[in-house]
Amino acid sequence: MSDALQTRRVTSEDVTTTLAPDELEVYRRELTGYCYRMLGSGFEAEDAVQETFLKAVRFGDSFEGRSSVRSWLYRVATNVCTDMQRGAQRRARPMELGPSSPPDESRLGPLEPEALWVSPIGDDRILPDTADPAEITVARESIRLAFVTALQHLPARQRAALILCDVLRWQASEAAELLDTSVAAVNSALQRARATMAALPAEARPLDVASDNAELLARYVAAFESYDIDSFVSLLHEDAIQSMPPYAMWLQGAENIGRWMVLPGPSACRGSRLVATSANGCPAFAQYRPDPSGGYYPWALQVLEITAGQVRGINSFLDAKRLFLAFGLPSQPPA
């Protein structure tokens, strides 16, 4: 996110129409969720929402009150997201770009550009502020990394239709009005989008996970922080996956992940501290590596995928400086 967009919010000086800043701000969280599903990047989603608000107040004279402010903002956000993705490469996860690698540091390869990857976002930025457990569950499932990655396979109009109708539960007629098309066209887009999603390989689709994994997570932290590799590996599914964007390399198999962790480079994680957070509807940890000069430094944001009481995926995002800032994480772990 650019510094200007990161720090700026719509103020009364921007307002030239009847759309007041406070009236827009109440929609920030849900619009961020929508833009994140559309774009696959937490950083871009924040930028898109800010651009949506700026356009809404700048061109609000075209808002004639024939629809709700919410519908108007979703229309603007859809156009902003479509413009941002025009000509851009589809974001992905390492598992989509090539086969898994053996645990060999020479296979790590170069750092790839951030724009290549689906990136995480904090739950507090996008999950609905509601006490309804069913609504929270649906929202969590629709922001998991696998699902957001799968959405990127769809053309923008199909993606918008699927998110609006299948995730946000809009009527086809409402989606048609927002997308400036017919109900028949929306239904056709939905049919094609659902077929594409259903045809994706199983690893590209989200897993059903239990919400109560407190004991497993406590054991994960204890094993990682003590660097007890045998105990750590025992918590992993035998086909567990570990990815490390911005590297394209990824590992599959609990045994391979364990062998990787004791190699010279990865073993520098020995003595790390983990601080719990949440991302993409999943448990996550901020990993702080020991600093040879004293203290710790941000190293990775680990987003875990858990199923049937085992860790099925460890998504370690190494763009730690920007991610820790976006997640509101401290530069040092608590004492």
The torsion defined by the Cα of 265, 270, 275 and 277, in degrees rounded to 10, comes to 40
- Tell me the mean pLDDT in the region 217-224: 98
Predicted local confidence at residue 10, as pLDDT:
43
Query: Cα(4)–Cα(7) distance, rounded to whole angstroms?
Result: 6
Where residue 11 falls among pLDDT bands split at 50, 70, 90?
Answer: very low
Res 90 pLDDT > 80 = yes
Reduced to 3 states (helix: H, G, I; strand: E, B; else coil), residue 65 is: coil
Rounded to an integer, the average pLDDT of 152-178 is 94
The confidence band for 5, taking pLDDT boundaries of 50, 70 and 90, is very low
Tell me which of 54-63, 129-138, 318-327 is least confident.
54-63
Q: Tell me: pLDDT of 163 over 60.
A: yes
Residue 14 has pLDDT above 50, yes or no: no
Residues 149-169 have a mean pLDDT of 94
CA distance 131 to 226: 37
> What average pLDDT does this structure show over 224-234?
98
* Between 308 and 161, residue with greater pLDDT: 161
- The whole-model pTM stands at 0.89
How many Cβ atoms are within 10 Å of 225's Cβ, its own excluded?
A: 15
Please report how many Cα atoms fall inside a 13 Å half-sphere around the Cα of residue 246, on the Cβ side.
11
Question: Over the stretch 276-318, which tens digit does the pLDDT of each residue have?
Answer: 999 999 999 999 999 999 999 999 999 999 988 999 999 999 9
**Mean of the pLDDT values across residues 17-43?**
86
**Residues sharing a CB contact under 8 Å with residue 220, sequence separation 6 or more, in sequence order:** 232, 235, 304, 311
Distance CA 256, CA 314 (A): 13
Mean pLDDT of all residues in 185-200: 93
Q: Give the integer Cα–Cα distance in Å for 277 and 129.
A: 17
> pLDDT band at residue 274, thresholds of 50, 70 and 90?
very high
Q: Which residues pair with 305 in a beta bridge?
A: 313
Q: What is the DSSP letter of 163?
A: I
Helix (H) / strand (E) containing 286: strand 282-290
Give the mean pLDDT of 110-114.
94
Which sequence spans correspond to the domains of the chain?
3-89+118-204, 214-326
Q: What pLDDT was estimated at residue 20?
A: 63
pLDDT value for 200 = 79
Taking only the tens place, the pLDDT of each residue in 75-86 is 999 999 999 988
Q: Higher pLDDT residue, 63 or 39? A: 39
CATH topology of domain 214-326: Nuclear Transport Factor 2; Chain: A, (3.10.450)
**Whole-number Å distance between alpha carbons of 286 and 272:** 10
- With 60 as the cut, is the pLDDT of residue 7 above it? no
What is residue 8's predicted lDDT score, i.e. its pLDDT?
39
Of residues 138 and 197, the one with the higher pLDDT is 197
- When pLDDT is cut at 50, 70 and 90, the band that residue 67 belongs to is low
pLDDT at 6 over 50: no
**What pLDDT is recorded for position 202?**
62
Least confident of 41-45, 134-138, 238-242: 134-138
Instruction: Yes or no: say if 254 and 237 are a contact pair by the CB < 8 Å rule.
Output: yes
Q: What is the mean pLDDT of the chain?
A: 88
Helix (H, G, I), strand (E, B) or coil at 217: helix
pLDDT(208) > 70: no
